[in-house]
Structure 1
Amino acid sequence: MNRVALPKSIAQRFRGIHHSPCKQLCNNNRCEGQVQSAGPVGSLLKSRSVIRFRGPDTLKFLQGLLTNDVRNFGEAVGDRTENLPTPNVPATSVPPIYAALLTPQGRFLYDLFLYKPPTCHTKLDHTGTGPDSKPHEPFHMFADVDASVLDELLQTLNKYRLRSKVEIDDVSSDFSCWQRYGAGLSEKSSQVEEPEAASVGWAAGVDRTAMSSSQGSDQGWQWFKDPRLVCLGFRGIFPSNITPPLIEVDKETDEQNFLLWRIEKGVAEGSTEIPKGEAVPLEYNLAGLNAISFDKGCYVGQELIARTHHRGVIRKRIVPLRFLDNDGKAIPFLLFQSW
């Protein structure tokens, strides 16, 4: 196989992705085929940290700050049906949202995956026999963010907080981010669930406990379709002291495999791969990755994004590449084997 010698500067930039050597991504020429054919597999994303927003002004604060529309997190998904033998709620959850925080000049700073946590009546009580009945919890949300810029992100968010009634905390010691991906996942629904689980409840109701056990943990945490692309699989945050559902010992793999999977799809993630303070989000396809709403109104850095979008002129864009031989077949490769 013919190899192309890359300039050292380019190789070093690849090596810097998530601060790990690129040669770890693939150590033999079967790697690409193994990643494409393996699955489904899951990876603990150590490159992501989890933060929590808590307080009555959370949605207002995020709505005026981020590129995406977060108002759906404030809408109720259904009421409990107290007239049934078990207190059921509709088996629906608000899916996570991918968004970005920009500079006032419209340059990329940080990306976030926002999650609305399960409420008390969607969790099991301490006996494990029914929904929890704890007092009303204050509104709160979680986000998984780039761990390498966590402190910077928290400082930036607190700078914008001013008098908003919202607390922002690092909860990475309590929660972890996971990704489930690989072959055989793209045809499934947005929530991982057993089709029979909804029929476990009484009468016409839906037993939320049964649904939770089939698609998530007994604390109510569950997998969601990655909000960017279907081919990226499923994403979720889970308590650090539990193993996510559908993750078995023989199906857990190193995060570097997901990094390779994602790069092959042409998807950049985090402030390490998307140059912080320099990149224009549209050049990194954040609109196509569902991270930008053009209908939500004002947010920090909106002017450049709206103007560029409506003019329709994007002079450069990140795209995935695939090298083919003369027969049109993909060329097996080694990443920087000489190192």
Structure 2
Amino acid sequence: MPSARLDDRGLVEVAGAEARSFIDRLVTCEIETMSAGAARYGALLTPQGKVIADFIIFVGPEPDAFLFDTPASCVGDLIKRLNLYRLRAKLTVADRSALFRVVVGWDEATHPPDAITMAPDPRRPELGWRAIVPVESRAPLGDVADSDAYHAHRIGLGIPEATRDFAAGDAFPHEALMDQLGGVDFHKGCYVGQEVVSRMQHRGTARTRIVRLRYEDEAGHAGAEITAGERALGRSSSAPGSSGLAMIRLDRAGDALSAGEPILAGGEPIRFDKPDWVRFPYPGEQPASPA
């Protein structure tokens, strides 16, 4: 029943009478209907549709306050971008990383009693729960793991995160699997970058995606080039143990498999290992027939 503190995460608070509507007009997820005890996965995009930062949004501790659990390295740019859009809105944007910290738990880990807000991870149930606790909290409790154990658990499920598995400002939501993980609401009103994201969704033009890998030598190769013959297919990112993630060109990988070419990461054989929650065809699979 492990739990862990994620010191690589920061917290941004948007609070005020107009905070809810302000956020909903900007981000990929819908928050107008959010209530206390819930969390949503989303991102703020550039006008060109690239992910500036992905995050998990919580309501709290006050009804008109929202906390963005985001990579620590994205906090500064996220605050800058939110303030750019704020104009005369009745709200404040502040870095709360020095006051609060993020704690996670999975496999029935003990909940922290002093959490100011907590919720099931909105991406996948197997990820467990996420809580925001005061910085002086003794949480996590019970079977305490380090953040590396959590990221190994996340990567084993095939779930990417910004800065670890794709660079901020360099990937579309589809490439980062946000469409697969509930990070994009395709029925909400306008938000920054929506036109590009909607076009990719309706045309099915996401040729590059993050996929889960299995390494035959039981040792991952983070940051290695993925190749087939003389062709580059992409590059690996997180690689704890024998599993890992990589951003690849699906079409090129599919062509290599059809031709019987071995696919390598850092010169070592790999295979693609599709999680059961992924809905797009992995390399080597046939696309689903239209209904």
Q: Would the TM-score normalized by the shorter structure come out above 0.5? A: yes
Q: 1:259 to 1:52 in 2, by over 3 A?
A: same
Identical amino acids, percent of aligned pairs = 31
Q: What does the per-residue CA deviation read over 1:42-66, in whole Å, with 9 as the maximum and x for residues that have no partner?
A: 1111110112111101011101100
| Alpha-carbon distance between aligned partners in 2 of 1:237 and 1:254, rounded to the nearest angstrom | 17
Q: Which residue of 2 aligns with 1:234?
A: 129
Which protein shows a greater Rg? Answer: 1
- Is residue 74 of structure 2 the alignment partner of residue 149 of structure 1? yes
More helix by share: 1
| Alpha-carbon distance between aligned partners in 1 of 2:78 and 2:46, rounded to the nearest angstrom | 12
Select which of 105, 121, 129 maps to 2:48: 105
Q: Does the Cα contact within 8 Å between 1:72 and 1:94 map onto a contact in 2?
A: no
> Where in structure 1 are there 5+ consecutive unaligned residues?
1-39, 76-92, 120-137, 186-191, 193-213, 325-330
Q: What does the per-residue CA deviation read over 1:18-43, in whole Å, with 9 as the maximum and x for residues that have no partner?
A: xxxxxxxxxxxxxxxxxxxxxx2111
Select which of 263, 268, 276 maps to 2:160: 268
SS at match of 2:81: helix
Higher relative contact order, chain-length normalized (CA < 8 Å, sep 6+): 1
Q: 1:222 to 1:160 in 2, by over 3 A?
A: closer
SS at match of 1:318: strand
- Is residue 121 of structure 2 the alignment partner of residue 160 of structure 1? no
Q: Does the Cα contact within 8 Å between 1:177 and 1:238 map onto a contact in 2?
A: yes
Q: Which residue of 1 aligns with 2:150?
A: 258
| Alpha-carbon distance between aligned partners in 2 of 1:162 and 1:229, rounded to the nearest angstrom | 35
- Is residue 86 of structure 2 the alignment partner of residue 224 of structure 1? no
More strand by share: 2
| Alpha-carbon distance between aligned partners in 2 of 1:57 and 1:274, rounded to the nearest angstrom | 32
Q: Does the Cα contact within 8 Å between 1:68 and 1:291 map onto a contact in 2?
A: yes
- Is residue 174 of structure 2 the alignment partner of residue 282 of structure 1? yes
SS at match of 1:261: helix
| Alpha-carbon distance between aligned partners in 1 of 2:165 and 2:215, rounded to the nearest angstrom | 22
| Alpha-carbon distance between aligned partners in 2 of 1:163 and 1:44, rounded to the nearest angstrom | 36
Count of residues in correspondence between the two structures: 223
Q: Does the Cα contact within 8 Å between 1:108 and 1:274 map onto a contact in 2?
A: no
Q: Does the Cα contact within 8 Å between 2:117 and 2:131 map onto a contact in 1?
A: yes
Counting only pairs closer than 5 Å after superposition, residues 151-190 of structure 1 correspond to structure 2 as 151-181=76-106, 184-185=107-108
Q: Does the Cα contact within 8 Å between 1:44 and 1:178 map onto a contact in 2?
A: yes
Cα RMSD of the aligned pairs, angstroms, is 2.3
Structure 1 residue runs of 4 or more that deviate by more than 4 Å after TM superposition: 334-337
| Alpha-carbon distance between aligned partners in 2 of 1:233 and 1:43, rounded to the nearest angstrom | 11
User: What letter corresponds to residue 300 of structure 1 in structure 2?
Assistant: V
TM-score where L is the length of structure 2 = 0.70
SS at match of 2:201: helix
> Where in structure 2 are there 5+ consecutive unaligned residues?
223-240, 242-291
Q: Does the Cα contact within 8 Å between 1:111 and 1:271 map onto a contact in 2?
A: no
